[in-house]
């Protein structure tokens, strides 16, 4: 009797096996269809048309997000690193203008993304453009600095070869155009959400400064002499109405270069500098000024080396007689932070120097930590700024 029962039970199980197999097959088929549909939708999103309006006011359309970009400035790599885990994979060609990144920064990119060294070399924004070079690379889009890129005839030739041309601006009017430029890049590569996340972060940091300035109507604006590329050439390169001079104004200072230089940058004579009676002296420099004996700063140099080079700049004839030099109100800033999407670091450090009491709680070193943790594919290293007079609480970013 027990045997008949067991046989009956076995028979029922055997009868159900085909049913179970069919059900399992159905579940697997449905799962496969769902996964396949997700892949198809993702690919459909990746091939959606892209339209942007560049800084020059030109409308450019691409059939799909760009995967191969030609860039005429190495600092655009930093912008791409805010939006992509592998920014180098998006670069079809670049100028290999290592001096704009700094040797140590380039080394960090090369260590993480070795392909950067083998990318085709093209003319940079400060060099003569070769249309043939651009066409030979055949990128999905060619990105140039507004004001220094191809002329109308060159644009026509490049676009006739099927290569869209886009202009962005990190240099002339960065406070006006940098956010727009980042959005353009993000849209071009299909990374708008990541671009917007960084823009929101940047905007919050800038508003902390501008908001506080706006709430201080009786604010006195100290006169600031900011010498860019200090020691690279004869004295003295300075921002005018634009470029880093805009950040001096944003941080509550008065850029003495803006009073006489109509463009974004130019040269000031030592006689004018003395007569303008600046109250704060700030120099910018980096590895690119080393051969000329100028101000050096960056990961390649220790804080002591940076401070010693800043002291040499302050000791030059004419500069040494300035009141801020005699008082020790002398500061140094890495030029590689200028004309880049990391301008919030410039704004915050200038605010510290120009109005130390008003912005005592603003900590650009903490901002670097957050940038490295949340955004940058390749971390930013220091020192990036230095004070001639070593101060308690940290005078350099390392």
Using DSSP, state whether 260 is helix, strand or coil: coil
* Domains along the chain with CATH numbers: 50-190 (3.40.50.1980), 220-387 (3.40.50.1980)
- What is the predicted pLDDT for the residue at 244? 94
- What is the predicted pLDDT for the residue at 158? 97
Task: Give Cα separations from 275 to 83, 118, 268 (angstroms).
Answer: 46, 50, 11
**Which pTM was predicted?**
0.84
- What is the predicted pLDDT for the residue at 45? 47
- What is the predicted pLDDT for the residue at 18? 55
* 91/354 Cα distance (integer angstroms): 38
Neighbours of 57 (CB within 10 A): 7
Q: Quick: pLDDT tens for 288-335.
A: 999 999 999 999 999 999 999 999 999 999 999 999 999 999 999 999
* Residue whose C-alpha is closest to residue 54's, from 197, 189, 183, 159: 183
- What is the predicted pLDDT for the residue at 392? 45
Q: Mean pLDDT in runs of 10 for the chain (398 residues)? A: 50 50 53 47 63 97 97 95 97 94 93 97 87 97 92 96 96 92 98 97 97 94 97 94 94 98 94 97 96 96 97 96 95 93 96 97 98 97 93 48
* 184/37 Cα distance (integer angstroms): 30
Using DSSP, state whether 371 is helix, strand or coil: helix
- What is the predicted pLDDT for the residue at 37? 52
- What is the predicted pLDDT for the residue at 144? 96
Count CA atoms closer than 13 A to 207's CA, side-chain side: 6
* 214/32 Cα distance (integer angstroms): 58
- What is the predicted pLDDT for the residue at 149? 84
- Do residues 109 and 116 make contact, with C-beta atoms less than 8 angstroms apart? yes
Task: Give Cα separations from 364 to 41, 169, 184, 281, 342 (angstroms).
Answer: 42, 24, 26, 19, 11
- Do residues 201 and 374 make contact, with C-beta atoms less than 8 angstroms apart? yes
| Interstrand relation of 254-255 and 265-267 (parallel, antiparallel or unpaired) | unpaired
Please name the residues in contact with 38: beta carbons below 8 A apart, sequence gap of 6 or more: none
- Do residues 93 and 139 make contact, with C-beta atoms less than 8 angstroms apart? yes
* 311/325 Cα distance (integer angstroms): 9
Question: How is residue 50 written in tokens?
Answer: 């892209």
- Do residues 297 and 286 make contact, with C-beta atoms less than 8 angstroms apart? yes
């Amino acid at each position: 009797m027990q045997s008949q029962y067991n046989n009956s039970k076995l028979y029922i199980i055997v009868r159900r096996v085909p049913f179970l197999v069919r059900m399992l097959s159905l579940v697997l088929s449905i799962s496969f269809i769902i996964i396949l549909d997700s892949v198809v939708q993702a690919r459909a999103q990746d091939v959606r048309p892209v339209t942007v309006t560049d800084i020059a006011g030109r409308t450019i359309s691409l059939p799909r997000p760009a995967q191969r970009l030609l860039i005429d400035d190495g600092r655009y790599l930093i912008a791409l690193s805010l939006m992509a885990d592998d920014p180098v994979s998006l670069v079809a060609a670049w100028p290999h203008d290592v001096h704009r990144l700094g040797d140590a920064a380039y080394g960090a990119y090369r260590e993480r993304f070795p392909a950067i060294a083998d990318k085709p070399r093209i003319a940079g924004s400060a060099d003569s453009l070769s249309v043939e070079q651009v066409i030979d690379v055949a990128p999905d889009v060619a990105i140039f600095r507004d004001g220094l890129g191809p002329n109308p005839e060159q644009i026509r030739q490049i676009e006739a070869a099927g290569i869209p041309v886009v202009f962005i601006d990190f240099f002339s009017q960065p406070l006006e155009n940098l956010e727009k430029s980042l959005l353009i890049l993000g849209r071009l590569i299909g990374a708008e959400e990541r671009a917007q996340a960084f823009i929101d972060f940047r905007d919050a940091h800038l508003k902390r400064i501008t908001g506080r300035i706006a709430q201080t109507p009786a604010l006195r604006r100290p006169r600031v002499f900011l010498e860019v590329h200090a020691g690279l050439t004869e004295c003295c390169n300075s921002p005018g109405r634009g470029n880093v001079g805009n950040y001096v104004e944003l941080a509550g200072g008065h850029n003495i270069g803006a009073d006489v230089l109509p463009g974004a940058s130019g040269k000031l004579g030592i006689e004018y500098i003395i007569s303008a009676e600046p109250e704060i002296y700030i120099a910018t420099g980096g590895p690119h000024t080393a051969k000329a004996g100028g101000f050096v700063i960056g990961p390649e140099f220790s804080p002591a080396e940076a401070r010693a080079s800043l002291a040499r700049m302050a000791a030059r004839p004419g500069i040494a007689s300035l009141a801020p030099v005699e008082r020790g109100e002398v500061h140094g800033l890495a030029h590689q932070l200028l004309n880049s999407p990391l301008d919030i670091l410039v704004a915050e450090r200038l605010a510290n120097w120009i109005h130390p009491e008003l912005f005592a709680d603003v900590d650009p070193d903490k901002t670097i930590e957050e940038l490295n943790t949340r955004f940058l594919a390749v971390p930013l290293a220091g020192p990036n700024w230095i004070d001639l007079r070593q101060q308690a609480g940290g005078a350099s970013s390392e």
